[in-house]
Structure 1
Amino acid sequence: MPVPLYQAKADFFRMLGHPVRIRVLELLQGGPLPARGLLSAIEVEPSTLSQQLAVLRASGLVVPIRDGSTVVYELADGDVAELMLAARRILTGKLAARTDLHGQTRGTGTQTS
């Protein structure tokens, strides 16, 4: 029995639900990076990065490319970059709205002299 699309989407977003995975995807938007470059940018234990890269590889979101003894990672396709940019736009809009609302509520308080 095939998995309903809504269930597949939920599984997909759960897979994205780790800060290291999100950070890797953000960094790879700038182009391919070696594992050591990701490690220095994210500042986690090598085993943690390795585990999270394995999840991203298994999901098909990143592709490892061997360059001699170095493994370089890149986004599998442009859709991943678009997803990350869409998430940024959504969250930036929500943050701006929340900040604006917070500023409005602070400005409507009563003043005492």
Structure 2
Amino acid sequence: MSLMSNESVQPYQRIVQDVRDKIRSGRLTAGTKLPSTRELADEYGVAPGTVQRALAELRVGGLIYSHQGRGSFVTETASESSEDSTARALKRLEDQVSDLVARLEKIEKGRNA
């Protein structure tokens, strides 16, 4: 990676991306406790505030949740890839369409009887 492209990525974004990659690859699984803010700050060589910003973004993205005084943990749904959730959403839509078609056919038969 060149220096220029590295500078365009904020330090907190590097942490967010790294945690995302660890979840996607299965190195971090649902319920796993993340290291403390201090440990992450030391690991990435950044200020605790930078880590907190990264954790806030991961929370908003639904990848982690935090318990006051206990730490941050990977959510149950974080490890589901976006393809999985897309496939499930499509399956739900297909089921709904099938149901609507069946209802419509009943209504049409009732009218023509």
TM range (shorter): 0.3 to 0.5
**TM-score normalised by L of structure 1:** 0.43
Larger radius of gyration: 2
Q: Which has the higher strand share?
A: 1
**TM-score normalised by L of structure 2:** 0.43
